[in-house]
């Protein structure tokens, strides 16, 4: 939620963490965002409908969009194409490392 000066009313983060060899979503909301969180009753209700189902990031994005959230993700890379390719390769390797570590 942004005001006219592009300021937010607090920050919340949904992260996927490794828990018991599964990637599970974890919502973090700092105390300056609780009043904003209280406005998202429809989202909280949808989250409750998939309680303990370890939804994916893509499923959560669809949930946000269905509740009227606007996707402001910058899909065009600010980096030159060669650097973008290297960053993508690095992200894939880091993901592979995380998978291997979870299996150890």
Assess whether 81 and 44 both reside in one domain. no
Which domain range does residue 25 map to?
1-73
* Domains identified in the chain, total number: 2
pLDDT digits (tens, 9 = 90+) for 41-89: 999 999 999 999 999 999 999 999 999 988 877 777 666 777 778 888 8
Global pTM reads: 0.64
Q: How many CB atoms lie within 10 A of CB 55?
A: 19
- Could you give the angle at the alpha carbon of 46 between the alpha carbons of 29 and 39, nearest 5°? 50
Assess whether 58 and 97 both reside in one domain. no
Assess whether 8 and 46 both reside in one domain. yes
- Report which of 31, 33, 29 is spatially closest to residue 15, judged by C-alpha positions: 29
Assess whether 51 and 7 both reside in one domain. yes
Assess whether 63 and 102 both reside in one domain. no
Assess whether 45 and 96 both reside in one domain. no
Assess whether 66 and 80 both reside in one domain. no
Assess whether 62 and 88 both reside in one domain. no
pLDDT digits (tens, 9 = 90+) for 13-50: 899 999 988 899 999 999 988 988 999 999 999 999 99
Assess whether 40 and 26 both reside in one domain. yes
Assess whether 99 and 81 both reside in one domain. yes
Assess whether 9 and 21 both reside in one domain. yes
């Amino acid at each position: 939620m942004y005001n006219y000066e592009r300021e937010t009313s607090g920050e919340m983060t949904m992260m996927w963490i490794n828990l018991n060899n599964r990637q599970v979503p974890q919502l973090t909301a700092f105390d300056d965002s609780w009043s904003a969180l209280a406005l998202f009753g429809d989202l909280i209700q949808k989250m409750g409908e998939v309680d303990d189902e370890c939804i994916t990031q893509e499923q959560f994005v669809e949930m946000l969009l269905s509740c009227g959230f606007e996707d402001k993700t910058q899909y065009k890379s600010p980096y030159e194409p060669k650097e973008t390719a290297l960053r993508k390769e690095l992200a894939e390797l880091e993901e592979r490392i995380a998978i291997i570590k979870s299996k150890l």
